[in-house]
Chain A
């Protein structure tokens, strides 16, 4: 996806005073002072039609005078252009933009939680992932990666038998603080402004939440007056970890974000790093990536379909979906060696060449899957109970899509054809023929139909990939090892001196990236997964921001559930399809 074109950039500089243009090799945008920020963003939205909110984050520069720099990424759907806006948080605070884009609400809370930047005028500036009362800000550069040891956590043996000398365990007894029950209770009490009789705790461990999300429902009878979402039960500080690892080392961590579509995450991350390092990917690798990403998409959508139907009481669809998922898992396992968190892609290519017979298996699967898809349709699509549960539930308007920064099937079901595979083709998507299904109403049923059709389109893509891969010579390269930042495949490392040296160099010293910024995103089953990498050179990113589609998609949930029943909540949550690994990171 191109960044704002030079003509518009010049014009805006002319029209809006006190704005400086800012140009990197891979992105383009503006820098604006804090007091003019809000006016400028509003101007960009209203006059220049950068209506779609993509992301907001903060970068910490401890040596700089103002320390924190806010970064906003916006999208103009009419011109298909992105723009990046930066502003220094003078005095440690930024104005809130939640009244311009409601989606900024959670992004700002996250930035507050992680950096301690205050957002003036924010109506609910609470911690996003950490608990209330936690006094540190983990993504600041002065927060050590191992955490701040301040609390003693003895082992069970020691609680039972007392301290022994020598100690019964050799691990550190002093740990980073963990929330106590009182902390959690306080967190809960501070979130919801109670209006009705009954507050229902829905989660953190609840079969309807598909992971460890914690919902608070303020109930009047069965209808929800208001609700709040408490995230962070699966927060692992991925962005902090990324800052302390070489680029190639972070790849397996991306698997553990949206663990249901690991290869799609990897593809997004790898695309970002390859853009930063300017690595060409061989054609074969691109097609293998595309094929596996689409298999993974089917896999992920099947899980969504199965669990979504299970939530609405259709127990059998769940197992039918898992039957097909198993086959995809086997294909992935046969090639990557792992089923769930596969770590199959590599910077510059893929880890292994296609295993023997893969294409035949994939062909057989795809042929069979079309019939299975029909079976799912027979079970649900025209079922009156299914229609009653999903039609007219949780309608998302186009404005809300832009406003909340929604993406993926959730955006497309509302009629916004925002599909990055088409708008910003990565891997081999620009050479493939596929359609983008778009909904009309934007209710749960439309999201269901869009996802079902996406599976059919994925089948088409896979068929084309198989056709293309079959024609390729068997010894075509599957990783671009000529680039100095790429680790050559293991069999070459063991056999040739140059490759061994290159492998050593990358593994020991990292990739030595140029000092650039890049924001690359890919179309994940759960929406746009973007990686914003700020590099100061060297093998590690200075700041790596993960733009999670699932988090933004989930952020509209409290609005949609207002005035509806708990039974709608599960239908709605199922249709938004968040995965906590990605929302919390």
Chain B
């Protein structure tokens, strides 16, 4: 019983730390993205509130929180609110299976820096990715707006297509590692001394595309396509309700999926111990944020696909590629004796 109590407290602390850190980082990622966009677009970005505009996320949060809440006429009110939860919760739950570093000992207890070391970590990632679409669909349906409706339909078709591709792309890594636990995938990469991106470059590219599609980033941001749908599925939301959607999609999802990409393809926290005791964590965050940076960079450079093109690419090009990659990997693993 005492053991359970300690485990519970440890987990609660971990959850608290994680949620706090992740939400804070997401808020500051908005600042970073705006600064980056400013730099890319030959302008300054936020620079008025606080030094270097560093208090801008805070100001935005206050602004969003103090806005008048408006529920559109004819809206399905419970679903309207449920949509926000359905958008936020899965993207937060994604973090529960991300290991930020190796085990360490504190007060004589072994502590793993992840919330739940389940042996089906990757499966949870898929599950949460699929659940996240309900946020979009609910918001589109409940808003009683045609723009929102069309936007959510687009997102649904994209998610369906890319979940399949994502699954098949990741299967290659799973075959190599022989496990679907996130921790063990990282450990097997450290053990073999090779990051899986070297064995699975195709899978990584596919994963990257899926990541962009799932998080609704350019060039796959069709569900919000501001020129056609005036930000699409969240058009009827205001104030913090509106803020929750991009927070979940554009920031939480991108960070989480980048972290998972690092786990799958870049050896997780592995790296030379040049930063002392915190070296694994720093490596992990460094890799993750390099990927996040890459996503932001794409966002501010590329045009956007058409809805039908995106699904077409997924079904006609990416899925066969993923399958071929899987088959080749399976054969090679089988011939070389596997694991």
Q: Are A222 and B308 in contact (CB under 8 A)?
A: yes
Contact with A along B266-302 (1 / 0, CB 8 A): 0000000000000000000000000000000001111
Neighbour of B228 across the interface among A198, A208, A320, CB < 8 A: A208
Q: B304 to chain A: which residues have CB within 8 Å? A: 312-314, 385, 389
Q: A314 to chain B: which residues have CB within 8 Å? A: 301-304
Complex: chain B residue closest to A221, CB-CB: B153
Q: Are B146 and A313 in contact (CB under 8 A)?
A: no
Q: Are A385 and B305 in contact (CB under 8 A)?
A: yes
User: In the complex where A383-B302, A567-B306 touch, is A311 in contact with B227 (Cβ < 8 A)?
Assistant: yes
Q: Are B227 and A207 in contact (CB under 8 A)?
A: yes
B40 contacts partner chain A, Cβ-Cβ < 8 Å = yes
Q: B150 to chain A: which residues have CB within 8 Å? A: 200, 222, 566
Q: Most A CB atoms within 10 A — which of B41, B302, B308, B309?
A: B302
Q: Are A389 and B303 in contact (CB under 8 A)?
A: yes
- Separation of A237 and B226 alpha carbons in the complex (Å): 32
User: In the complex where A198-B146, A311-B227 touch, is A567 in contact with B303 (Cβ < 8 A)?
Assistant: no
Q: Are B302 and A385 in contact (CB under 8 A)?
A: yes
Neighbour of A569 across the interface among B146, B222, B228, B301, CB < 8 A: B228
Q: Are B228 and A567 in contact (CB under 8 A)?
A: yes
Neighbour of A567 across the interface among B225, B299, B300, CB < 8 A: B225
B230 contacts partner chain A, Cβ-Cβ < 8 Å = yes
Q: Are B303 and A313 in contact (CB under 8 A)?
A: yes
B83 contacts partner chain A, Cβ-Cβ < 8 Å = no
Neighbour of B230 across the interface among A207, A316, A383, CB < 8 A: A207
Q: Are A567 and B222 in contact (CB under 8 A)?
A: yes
Q: Are A386 and B303 in contact (CB under 8 A)?
A: yes
Q: Are A319 and B303 in contact (CB under 8 A)?
A: no
User: In the complex where A222-B308, A313-B218, A313-B225 touch, is A320 in contact with B303 (Cβ < 8 A)?
Assistant: no
A315 contacts partner chain B, Cβ-Cβ < 8 Å = yes
Q: A567 to chain B: which residues have CB within 8 Å? A: 222, 225, 228, 306-308
Q: Are B41 and A319 in contact (CB under 8 A)?
A: yes
Q: Most B CB atoms within 10 A — which of A198, A208, A315, A565?
A: A315
Q: A386 to chain B: which residues have CB within 8 Å? A: 303
The A-contacting residues of B in range 36-52, CB under 8 angstroms, are: 37, 40-43
Size category of the B interface is: 20 to 34
- Min Cβ gap A370→B in Å is 18
Q: A389 to chain B: which residues have CB within 8 Å? A: 303-306, 309
Q: A309 to chain B: which residues have CB within 8 Å? A: 303
Number of A-B contacts (CB under 8 A): 85
Complex: chain B residue closest to A390, CB-CB: B303
Neighbour of B302 across the interface among A310, A313, A570, CB < 8 A: A313
Q: B305 to chain A: which residues have CB within 8 Å? A: 385, 388-389
Q: Are B300 and A566 in contact (CB under 8 A)?
A: no
- Separation of A2 and B248 alpha carbons in the complex (Å): 65
- Min Cβ gap B301→A in Å is 6
Q: A200-B147, A315-B300, A385-B303 are in contact. List 16 more A-B contacts (CB 8 A).
A: A201-B146, A206-B230, A208-B227, A222-B150, A222-B307, A313-B227, A313-B304, A314-B302, A315-B218, A316-B37, A319-B41, A320-B42, A379-B301, A388-B306, A389-B304, A569-B228
Mind listing 6 A-B residue pairs with CB under 8 Å? A309-B303, A314-B302, A385-B219, A385-B304, A567-B222, A567-B307
Q: B307 to chain A: which residues have CB within 8 Å? A: 222, 565, 567
- Separation of A25 and B225 alpha carbons in the complex (Å): 54
- Min Cβ gap B158→A in Å is 13
Q: B222 to chain A: which residues have CB within 8 Å? A: 567
- Separation of A388 and B221 alpha carbons in the complex (Å): 16
Q: Are B303 and A312 in contact (CB under 8 A)?
A: yes
Q: B299 to chain A: which residues have CB within 8 Å? A: 315
User: In the complex where A320-B42, A385-B219, A567-B222 touch, is A310 in contact with B227 (Cβ < 8 A)?
Assistant: yes
Q: A323 to chain B: which residues have CB within 8 Å? A: 42
- Separation of A198 and B40 alpha carbons in the complex (Å): 39
- Separation of A385 and B304 alpha carbons in the complex (Å): 7
Q: Give the top 8 A-B pairs by smallest Cβ distance, nearest first.
A: A313-B304, A311-B227, A319-B41, A314-B303, A208-B227, A567-B306, A312-B303, A313-B303
- Separation of A106 and B229 alpha carbons in the complex (Å): 28
